[in-house]
Amino acid sequence: MKRKTSKAFVYLGPSGVHGIGCYADQNIKKGEIVRIWDGEDSRWVSVRQVNASRHAALYKKFGIRSTGGYWVPLDFLRISTGWYMNHAADPNLGSDDGDVTYHALRHIAAGEELTIDYRRMDDVYDNLSRDVRVPAAAGVKAKTRPQRPARCR
């Protein structure tokens, strides 16, 4: 089935779920594709590379965990609005391809926060619970990161 792409722009604002969230500037019809990701603004980083990076904490906190590594923004200063999507158990956006193409699961009103289900972003990792420990820097005691009900991208 060929889906129509919504003409809605997605903007960032204070979230009712957590931190910052994504919002539609106009109504989105059920089934319409919503442009929240630029498929060119992410890259794959292996677990080995993450653990060796000075940016390990950022990658583990905001990256999308997958087998063998993380999908992370190319540049944390210039990222798609999709990186700010918050989790909902009953989201209003879903994906058929498990990638960067999301569509409205129901009618979405202008100004409504757009949400996705983090547990469906990877077949192995649910990307909701954050039980991954970030290795401590030399001379710094490691802290266990508390689990949060949702994370902001």
For residues 18-41, average pLDDT: 90
8 A C-beta contact, residue 46 and residue 3: no
**Which CATH superfamily groups domain 10-120?**
SET domain (2.170.270.10)
Amino acid code (one letter) for 47: V
The DSSP element (H or E) to which 68 belongs, if any, is: none
State the alpha helices, DSSP H only, in the chain. Answer: 47-52, 56-62
Measured distance CA(27)–CA(115) in Å, rounded: 15
The phi-psi region of residue 151 (left if phi > 0; otherwise alpha if psi is between -120 and 50; otherwise beta) is: beta
What pLDDT was estimated at residue 79? Answer: 83
Measured distance CA(24)–CA(10) in Å, rounded: 5
**In degrees rounded to 5, what are phi and psi of residue 81?**
-60, -30
Identify which has the larger pLDDT, 130 or 78.
78
Identify which has the larger pLDDT, 53 or 118.
53
What pLDDT was estimated at residue 31? Answer: 96
Query: In whole angstroms, how large is the CA radius of gyration of the chain?
Result: 16
Q: Is the pLDDT at 11 greater than 60, yes or no?
A: yes
What pLDDT was estimated at residue 47? Answer: 95
Identify which has the larger pLDDT, 125 or 108.
108
Reported as a single tens digit per residue, the pLDDT across 33-82 is: 998 877 788 899 999 999 999 999 989 988 888 889 998 988 888 888 88
Average pLDDT, the chain: 80
CA distances from 138 to 117, 135, 141 (A): 36, 9, 8
Q: Is the pLDDT at 136 greater than 80, yes or no?
A: no
Per-domain boundaries in the chain: 10-120
Amino acid code (one letter) for 96: D
